[in-house]
Structure 1
Amino acid sequence: MLQQFEHYLSMARQAEQDQQWSEAWRYLEYAHICGQNQFRLHWQSHRLMLGLAWRTRNLKEGWGQLLRLALTPLGHLLNRLPEGNPGTSRVSAFAPQPLPAELLQTAAEPKTDSDNTEYR
């Protein structure tokens, strides 16, 4: 799901540039779901969410992201990562969620050789 992770990060950046805040959050949530099983990507998604919370002066989300950044290493060590969790404070950090339809559709698409690129 690395290619999807990168795609959603790109979409989030574009939405933020366009000041489409709810879209930026949605794409960061999708990136989180795609990357949460790989520590580095999981950490990065929460770090980017913290940055967006800071830039939009969203104090509640900022605190939520600080908590999630603290919990991320523990979640990986204990293998306790709730599948489908969007990673934002609108949902408990411990609650699994159904995968969004857009992610299910993307995951079902055929893979190409370019899907095996390494994340930088």
Structure 2
Amino acid sequence: MKAIVKDYFKAELCKAKTAAAERDFEAAWIALQRAHILGQTDEIAHTVAHWHMLKLAWRQRDFREVIAGQLIQTLLAFPLTVLFGQMRALRGGRANVKGSERMTVPEDIQQILNQ
């Protein structure tokens, strides 16, 4: 992972942590989804993003998100990223997005990834 991408990844995780502490769960999810997109092609960052999503879903007692979205994804993030990391379409990482669904990457994130 490029240093600049890593910095933005960490910043999004910090935003998510702050938002969750303030019980602004919508902002926390947005920051985690942004972190997921930034880290999706790096095995460790991808796994870390899903781990934080799993913790947030658990904190909210959103068991659909825990089971259908994050538990399996957290376990599979590392091996799947090793196998397919560069070939996968960038996505937000939540359970409400189908695996085959293509998502639009926010323009500012795309610019960071293109650097």
TM-score when normalising by structure 2? 0.82
Q: Equivalents in 1 of 2:22, 2:60: separation in Å?
A: 13
Aligned partner of 2:81 among 76, 80, 103: 76
The alignment yields a C-alpha RMSD, in angstroms, of: 2.1
Paired-residue identity, %: 28
Query: Aligned letter for 1:61?
Result: E
> Closer, same or farther in 2 for the Cα pair 1:19/1:102, shift >3 Å?
farther
- Gap runs ≥5 in structure 2: none
Instruction: Provide the C-alpha distance between the structure 2 equivalents of 1:52 and 1:75, rounded to a whole number of angstroms.
Output: 22
1:37–1:55 distance in 2 versus 1, CA, 3 Å: same
Between the aligned partners of 2:93 and 2:50, the Cα distance in structure 1 is: 7
1:19 aligns with 2:8: no
The answer to whether residue 41 in structure 2 is matched with residue 37 in structure 1 is yes
Q: Point out 4+ residue stretches in structure 1 off by more than 4 angstroms.
A: none
User: How far apart, in 2, do the equivalents of 1:5 and 1:93 lie?
Assistant: 22
For residues 92 and 2 of structure 1, do their structure 2 counterparts lie closer, same or farther at Cα, with a shift above 3 Å needed?
Answer: same
Structure with greater proportional helix content: 2
Shift of 1:94: 4.3
SS in 1 for 2:84: coil
- More moved, 1-10 vs 77-86: 77-86
Larger radius of gyration: 1
Q: Distance in 1 between matches of 2:59 and 2:23?
A: 11
Q: Distance in 2 between matches of 1:89 and 1:69?
A: 12
Per-residue CA deviation, residues 59-90 of structure 1 (Å, 9 max, x unaligned), is 01101101212332342243155332101111
- Separation in structure 2 between the aligned mates of residue 84 and residue 16 of structure 1, nearest angstrom: 24
Q: TM-score, normalised by structure 1?
A: 0.79
